Structure formats: C-alpha cells, structure tokens
Amino acid sequence: MILVINLNASLDKRYELVDFAKGKIVRAKSVDNTPGGKGIHVANVDTILGEETVVTGFLGGKTGELIAGKLEDYGINGDFVDVAGETRSCLAILTEDGAQTEILEPGPEVSLEELKKFRKKYAELLDKADIVVASGSVPQGVPVDFYAELIEDAHAAGKKFLLDTSGDLLARGISAKPDFIKPNRDEIEALRGYRLHSEADVVREIRHFLDEGIEMAAISLGSQGSLVGVEGGIYRVTVPEIDCQNPVGSGDSYVAGIAAGLQRKLPVEEILRLGAACGTANALEAESGYVQKQIVEDLLPRIAIEKIA
C-alpha cells in the first residue's frame, strides 16, 4: 500500500475570467471546486494507476466535510484526523491572456492534542504501508521538524519515504534522509544559499544529496525534463513536446509515478519513465493532479532515459 500524507489539504477553487481588474466587480465565466493539496493530487494519480492508496492528514469544518465527500466521489481512500479549525481554500484565477494568479490560505491552527491523534493514526497506517509519500506545506501549529520525525518512524518500520516539500520543512526533512526528494532549482538555491548556473552545478547538487544518504534525488528542469541521481548514477530524463493545458500538479503526478514504480519494484529506468509519463500526462489535462491511465501508458515509450554519469 502507498500511504500519502497531506497535512494541509485545501478546497481548490478555479475561476476563469476574461480579465482581472483590481477594485472592480469581476464576473467569472466558470468556477470549478476540487479537493486539493499536493498529497491529494498524489493519491488521486496513484489511485487512477490502480495502486492501493490511502491519503491521511487533517480535515476540519464544512470545507473539510466537502473535501471528504469529493474524495469519496473520486474513489480516493481517505483516512483523516478531524480538527476544530476550518480546512483552507485555495483560489486560482485564470484570465484569457494566459496568466494565473493564486491565493493560498494558510490553513487551520492544529492543536497539540490533534497532533497526537495524527501520530497515533500514522502509526496504525504505517503498519499496513509499503511506501510513504509526504507532500506539501503544513498547517499552523505543526512543528518544522514534523516531516523529519515521520521519516524516522517510517525507516524504523522498514518503509521507504518520499518527501516533496520546500523551505525549512525540506531542510529538516533532508537531515532525516528520506528515500526520495524532488526540489526544483529555486528551492535548491534557497536551501544552499547560492545560484546554480549550469547543468554541471545541478549534477553537483544531486551528488551532494546522494552523499547525504538520500537514495533518489530528482531536480526538475521544467519542459526540458529532469536530472535524477539514484544508485550512484545520474540520469537525464527527457519528455516529449506537448500542448500543455495546465502544468499545475505535474510535479505531484511525477511523485505519484515514482511511488507507483517503487511499489511495483520496477527497474530504476522504468521507475523514472513512469514518473515522467505521469507528470507529462497531468500537463495535458485542465484539472490539476489528474491523469488518464491510457495516456500515461501511451507516453511511456516517448520518455527518453539517458545515464550521463
């Protein structure tokens, strides 16, 4: 089973407008409400791929109830801890000029007692899991080293842990040696405090992560694909040119593909191919964190994997 942790879930509200003018009344052409959060995207894609998947975290208030209902509609198996605070909403405003403006609420305040309830649920679910994925931010009240603690628990239980976050959460998480990370160039520069100017710089950073005890480190290069370090080697992963509809959620879909590949115990190159195919398939869809299984399968032979070091 793949256990996905989404501590800061959201109701994602997508507004399509002709234009967005500050201080004016603006009427939306369309509105779409979907369950959101990076971990929920991961769980959705892994469920679509046919993997046994459970997503956990915190849900609260009427928004939390709405998200739980929508997860059920999607066929996603959710097992969340109820909190007193209201689960956040996140707004994406899309205009005809192609611009996208996002407004992200911070999330509820989580109490110490609610954190204890989550740790208990995590221990129960961890016993059934083979792989753990933790994605995204954390709500208020969750300590910055929380992911690191969850990684240590997973490793003590002999389970792999994939971490996709940023900032201090990533820095603390790396100290616990997750089995997989996927920071982008900006996140690495913020983490290290210096700029990456070339592919050689990116490769150097991947080597640093491997030396720190991380089994697999992927660095996205956007539409150019990614560079990935695993088992001491460096791979260039190149994706085909596509008519991109919506790139939001592609990183989450990539992580879902990596998790599915690990769960299936595929060879390294096939794990990387499945991750890239899922990320690319998401970009072909209007909905974030969603793929069509047949499109993923059609993309697999179009993903180029080259070992460069």
Can you give the CATH number for the domain in which 13 is found?
3.40.1190.20
Q: Is the dihedral of CA 166, 148, 142, 73 positive or negative?
A: positive
For residue 274, give the nearest of 75, 53, 49, 1 by alpha carbon: 49
**Angstrom distance (rounded) from CA 112 to CA 236:** 44
- Residue 21's pLDDT band (boundaries 50, 70, 90)? confident
- Residue 222's pLDDT band (boundaries 50, 70, 90)? confident
What total number of domains does the chain contain?
1
**Angstrom distance (rounded) from CA 50 to CA 251:** 19
Instruction: Supply 247's token pair.
Output: 């790139």
The tens digit of pLDDT for each residue in 121-170 reads 999 999 999 999 999 999 999 999 999 999 999 999 999 999 999 999 99
For residue 224, pLDDT beyond 80: no
Amino acid 115 reads L
- Residue 40's pLDDT band (boundaries 50, 70, 90)? very high
For residue 83, give the nearest of 1, 137, 138 by alpha carbon: 138
Is there a contact between 139 and 86 (Cβ–Cβ < 8 Å)? no
pLDDT for the residue 99: 86
Domain hosting 84: range is 2-307
The tens digit of pLDDT for each residue in 104-130 reads 999 899 999 999 999 999 999 999 999
**Can you state the percent helix, strand and coil of the chain, rounding each to 5?**
40, 25, 35
